[in-house]
Amino acid sequence: MITVKMLGSFQLEVNGQPIPVKNWKSRKALTLFKYLAHCPGKKVPRDSIIDLLWADSDITCATHNFHTTLYNLRRSLFPGGWRSGEYKGINHANGLYWFAPEQGYYVDLADFKNKVRQSIELEERNPEASLQLCLEAYQLYRGDFLEEDLYEEWTTITRENLREMYLDLAVRTAELLVSCRKDYQSAVKVCRQALEFDQSREKLHCLIIRCLIAVGHHADAVIQYKACEKAMQEDLAISPSSETRQLVMGLSEGERSQTLPRDSNSLSTILKLGQIRSEQEGQPYTLIMVTLPREGKSLLERALELLQKTLRGGDLACRWSDRQIIILLPTTDHRGAEVVAARLKKMLEAYIPASTLSFRVLDPGEPQAAQPLEIRAKALANKMY
């Protein structure tokens, strides 16, 4: 039994034993295996494989390299058994080669596609069965197709198509979770995980907003809309559709102005998206922590209202605790942070005396860059007490 996983990092097992990448006899042999295994059963002409792997070699040399690579592939899969004919791994006939070992195989990529297709076929006549298949397919997507082979040209189109399939699957899964089970929390979780692959996907933001409004988390819905607006403007240079805007505009003025998130995942998501954006652009970003002189919902709401009137359009202020507010300034360096912090401090001193403020500029290039932004915010918050 050969088990191949290609969604995310490449993983391979033969008869239950992992075959580490370092054990392969050559990189070309591994690439050839990945290419044939990603479409199990598909018969590929030898000339097509040669064009893929040895396009710059003359035909005699390329043919020799092909047979050597195929030999190394079989040695890597079955170090002691393939010569006897017990294990083939790669079949061939009439100049065609394909992956369909007689001893059985499993390829997560093929399983993912089949489950997505079956879920679509069942959606109208059996939504619950369709949802179950959606959830199973969703769990299979550990990451983008062969994420370690980003610069292998043959993987690009497949990777993009699979990502689109996954994002569409996330939308369908979330919709079915709501329509079949009224499970708004799981629907939001599915959408938020999918947003990590495309933070400007409006449908995902829209579904999250609908779910949050449905359970009465209006403040979180407004925050999610702002994240959607920011991501779409930065990635696509467009604004959310009128349909998405109307979801938030349909809330009362009091609901829209409330800025205390009830869903703890909302702030976490916003911080994560801000961090991803700054890291992609290789620019620093700033966290500012404001600590109020005492606890109190009215005081906290007053401070948030003042801050949001003072901040720029792309900045975000959210409740961190009962007397603290976290502010995220994307793509803001130390000089810019000092200017903003000074302006905010002056404003707070005028309206809410005894408030304190501290900030930290975070550079994606620093050694601690991999540390989640939420952890850094907690450290900054603790210093204020």
With H, G, I as helix, E, B as strand and everything else as coil, classify residue 105: strand
Q: Given this model, what pLDDT does residue 369 score?
A: 46
Rg of the chain over Cα atoms, rounded to whole angstroms, equals 26
The pairs formed by 56-62 with CB atoms below 8 angstroms and a separation of 24 or more are none
**Domains with residue ranges and CATH for the chain:** 1-181 (1.10.10.10), 183-258 (1.25.40.10), 263-385 (3.30.70.2880)
**Distance between CA 338 and CA 254 in Å, rounded?**
32
Q: Given this model, what pLDDT does residue 8 score?
A: 96
* pLDDT tens for the chain, residues 1 to 385: 999 999 999 999 998 999 999 999 899 999 999 999 999 999 999 999 999 999 888 999 999 999 999 999 988 988 766 554 555 789 999 999 999 888 899 999 999 999 999 999 999 999 999 999 999 999 999 999 999 999 999 999 999 999 999 999 999 999 999 999 999 999 999 999 999 999 999 999 999 999 999 988 887 888 889 889 988 998 999 999 999 999 988 775 545 444 444 445 556 666 666 666 666 667 777 778 888 888 877 888 888 878 877 777 667 777 777 888 888 777 777 788 888 888 888 888 888 887 776 666 665 455 544 455 556 556 655 554 3
> 10 Å Cβ neighbour count for 321?
16
In the numeric block, the tokens 């198509």 are attached to: 161
**Distance between CA 1 and CA 106 in Å, rounded?**
8
Q: Given this model, what pLDDT does residue 378 score?
A: 62
Q: What is the pTM of this model?
A: 0.71
**Distance between CA 51 and CA 263 in Å, rounded?**
53
Q: Given this model, what pLDDT does residue 259 score?
A: 45
Report residue 72 as tokens. Answer: 């190394």
* Residues ≥6 apart with Cβ < 8 Å to 13: 1, 2, 3, 19
Of 100, 76, 101, 63, the residue nearest 10 (C-alpha): 76
**Distance between CA 356 and CA 353 in Å, rounded?**
9
**Distance between CA 230 and CA 31 in Å, rounded?**
39
Give the distance, in angstroms, between the CA of residue 319 and the centroid of all CA atoms in the same chain.
25
Of 78, 81, 76, the residue nearest 22 (C-alpha): 76
